[in-house]
Each structure stands twice: as structure tokens, then as C-alpha cells.
Structure 1
Amino acid sequence: MAIFPPSTNADYRGAKVSAWFLMLAGVLEFIPGCIHYFLPDGGAGVIGGVDLSTRGDTIVALFAWFGAIQIPFALLLFVIGLRYRTLVPLGLLALITARFLMAYDGWFGKGSGDGHHPPAHYGGPIGILLGIVFLVLALRERRTTN
């Protein structure tokens, strides 16, 4: 068995724009993943404005850990949108779920305690709404022209 089995794109009946959105979401997930993993402070201080004077080493390590999760997730979303479009609804559902959990935590959960909101807290709700729109489009069958 190959790492990349044959493409399923011919069997996909949803909106092509949903697959393109999923690939865009993959790129937009990959960039912060690389920032979190490769920047010396993981973007915590220079982008997120997190105070690293107390337990900064732990915070940076957690950012790198999250980046290590984001990078392969982003690549998977991109490959689904590019080559395995029958999985686009599942990829969008995973994206919506991740964004919902992050947004909930940032605004109402464990991450909401100090009132500070890094850029991802604002982008999360937008990602949820767009993800839902493109999920609906992906689940609707395209009209075929004969």
C-alpha cells in the first residue's frame, strides 16, 4: 500500500470551492504552526503578547508542541482538498471542531481568565462560520450537466 492511495476526486459531488477552502485553511493552519514551532518564543511574546517572565520556558514549549500538531494537521487538510475530495466534509468538520474548541476556550474557558486575546481568538469564530458555510456546500450535490 502506498502512502498516497489513488485520488478520490472523481467521486466527489460537493462544491469544488469547499475543497479549495479546505486547502486554504490548510495553508492558514500551516503558517502559525511553523511560527509556533520555529520562532524562538513560538510567537507567544512577539505576536501573542504573552508575558514570558514567569514560566516562559514552559509556555514556549507548549507553543512548540501545539505547532507540532498544527503542521501535520495542515498538511492533511491540504492533501484532502487536493487529492481526496470525498473526505472534504470530514476535513471541514475537523476544522470546525478544532476552531470551536479553541474559540470557546479563549473566550469562555480556561484561556479566558486574564482578558487577553491573541489574534487566533478573533480568527476562530470567523473560521467556524466559514467552515460551516463550506461544509454545507460540500454536502450539497452539484448539478451535473448532460
Structure 2
Amino acid sequence: MAALLPRSEPVAASASSRFLVLCGVLAVVPGMIHVFLPDGGAGVIAGIDLSRDAARTVSMFAWAGATQIAWGGMMLAIGLFHRALVPLALVLLLLEKTLHALSFWVLKPGDHHPPESYAVLVAVPVIALFLALALRRRG
């Protein structure tokens, strides 16, 4: 395991690294729901009508969940073991959530808004704040 996750130069834990660990957990848990819940959370959580093309919708949720689990694992590893990469991870997370917000509300708005569509509106400025804190510590 040491070859896969070598420790970087010691960097003190900061609020930003702890926040990234929290983000990792908040990615892995829904990812597991999307992969392992029978409907992937599409019906019971997101409230999507699965009466038409349920298999495709559930498959797309499982695909997204697999990505969430992998990305969440990466955030956990960076926040715990490779703290020098926290600003980079936060930039990528900010990009991801900004694109989610744009897709939900501007580029591809729909008449149904799952919980994530509202969560990203809160997440974007919070991530930006922790990114600014991480960059300030470096300067």
C-alpha cells in the first residue's frame, strides 16, 4: 500500500484539508447509495418517476455513483496523506460543482430538481472559501 499511497512531505492539517476529507465522505456515501440501492436513489431520494425507462436511469445513477466513490476516495487520500495537493483538489472540486450548478440551472435546466441541484448552490461558495484559505496559507 505504501507504493500506492506514499506519504508526501509532512504538511500540517488545516481547515481546508479537513474540509476536503469531509467532501470525500460526502461523495463516497451518496456514491454507495447510487451503486448499491436497488433504484440507485433515483426514485426514493431524487423523486424521479421510474415508470419509463427505469433500467437506463438506474444504470446512469450507478455510473455516477462509481465516479463519486472514486473521486471521494481521492479526496480522502489527499486530505489525509497528501495535503500539499489540497488546493489542486479543491480547484477541481470547485470546477465540478460549478459545472453541476450551471448544468442544473442554466445550460440544461429541467422541471425537476433533485437534492444535489440545491446542494451545489451552497457548495460552490463554501468550496471557494476553503480554496482561498488553502491558497492563503501557502502565500
Same fold per superposition (TM over 0.5): yes
- Residue by residue over 1:24-44, the C-alpha shift from the partner in whole angstroms, topping out at 9 and shown as x without a partner, is 000011111011111000000
Task: Find the partner of 2:134 among 129, 133, 138.
Answer: 138
Deviation of the 1:106 alpha carbon = 1.1
Deviation of the 1:125 alpha carbon = 1.5
Percent identity, aligned pairs only, is 46
Task: Find the partner of 1:55 among 19, 28, 53.
Answer: 53
Structure 1 Cα separation of the partners of residues 77 and 7 of structure 2 = 12
Taking the TM superposition and a 5 Å limit, the aligned residue runs for 1:1-146 are: 2-10=3-11, 16-110=14-108, 112-113=109-110, 115-141=111-137
- Structure showing greater radius of gyration is 1
Deviation of the 1:5 alpha carbon = 1.4
For the aligned residues, what is the CA RMSD? 1.7
Structure 2 Cα separation of the partners of residues 45 and 135 of structure 1 = 34
Number of residues paired by the alignment? 138
- Residue by residue over 1:55-110, the C-alpha shift from the partner in whole angstroms, topping out at 9 and shown as x without a partner, is 11000000000001000100100110111011000110111111111111111222
Structure 2 Cα separation of the partners of residues 109 and 9 of structure 1 = 42
> In 1, are the aligned partners of 2:86 and 2:134 still within 8 Å (CA)?
yes
Structure 1 Cα separation of the partners of residues 130 and 59 of structure 2 = 34
Structure 2 Cα separation of the partners of residues 94 and 4 of structure 1 = 20
TM-score normalized by the length of structure 2: 0.93
Greater RCO, 1 or 2 (C-alpha within 8 Å, sep 6+):
1
> In 1, are the aligned partners of 2:46 and 2:114 still within 8 Å (CA)?
yes
> In 2, are the aligned partners of 1:8 and 1:83 still within 8 Å (CA)?
no
| Change in 2 beyond 3 A, CA 1:64/1:73 | same
Amino acid at match of 2:121: P
Would you identify which runs of 4 or more consecutive aligned residues in structure 1 move more than 3 Å?
A: none
Amino acid at match of 2:100: M
Structure 1 Cα separation of the partners of residues 119 and 10 of structure 2 = 29
- In structure 2, the gaps of 5 or more residues are none
- In structure 1, the gaps of 5 or more residues are none
TM-score normalized by the length of structure 1: 0.89
